[in-house]
Amino acid sequence: MVELGPLLIDEVRHRVVKAFPEQVRVALGALSDDEIWARPHDGSNSLGNLVLHVCGSTRHFLGRGVGGSDYTRDRPGEFAERGPIPRGALMQVLDETVAEAERVLSGLSPSRLLEKTDRTGKTFTLAELLLRVSHHWAVHTGQIVFEAKARKPGAFDELWMKTMEKR
């Protein structure tokens, strides 16, 4: 019989460390720096903002909340940035976030999943934080991929299938 705790951690790790970041990398790779930072209108976000946002959220809820880091989030700054931060520097933020997620998730014991923490400003179980982070990545990765496909038709195909399958 498969245990739920290890399965949950493994699935979140696959999505947050491998699949979703790879989709973001492919989408950003198809665009210029100007396209990454373009906003359809003043009330919207650029793809660069979405990357900063998902990284800030991950470092806050997973790195700080689960892993115990001292990360201090600047959520308004994630959306205020107008860039263009060059793609390489943006990818470095992504890579550093993914590396932190890998460290936290690879060291997380299933016995801790029902442990509660208030390190994020509200009380959550560690399982709730894992699901929150994974779902958040899913939402914003979908937005990033959709926008990149709209800007560059045919630039990539079957991205979901290529990245979500466990290898």
Q: Which domains does the chain have, with CATH numbers?
A: 4-153 (1.20.120.450)
Beta bridge partner(s), residue 117: 124
Place of tokens 């705790």: 5
Nearest to 87 by CA among 43, 51, 39, 130: 51
What's the pLDDT score for residue 22? 96
Length of the chain in terms of residues written: 167
What's the pLDDT score for residue 80? 95
CA-based angle 33:97:18, to the nearest 5?
A: 90
Using 50, 70 and 90 to split pLDDT, how confident is the model at 167?
low
Nearest to 31 by CA among 140, 143, 149: 149
Mean pLDDT of 64-71: 97
Chain centroid, CA 47 distance in Å: 13
What's the pLDDT score for residue 164? 74
3-state class (DSSP) for residue 125: strand
pLDDT tops 70 at residue 104? yes
